[in-house]
Amino acid sequence: MKLKLVLSVILFALAAPTWALDADEMFADPAQEERARDIGRQLRCLKCRNQSIFDSNAGFAKDLRVLVRERMTAGDTDEEVLEFVRDRYGDYVLMKPPVEAHTFVLWITPAALLILGLGGLGIYLKRRQPTIAQGTILAPEDRQEARRLLDQGEQP
* CATH fold of the domain at 2-97: Helicase, Ruva Protein; domain 3 (1.10.8)
The domain segmentation of the chain, as residue ranges, is 2-97, 99-128
* Mean of pLDDT values over 95-117: 85
pLDDT per residue as tens digits for the range 24-73: 567 777 888 899 899 999 999 888 878 888 888 888 889 999 999 999 99
66, with CB counted inside 10 A (0-12, 13-18, 19+), is middle
Contact 92, 50 (CB under 8 A): no
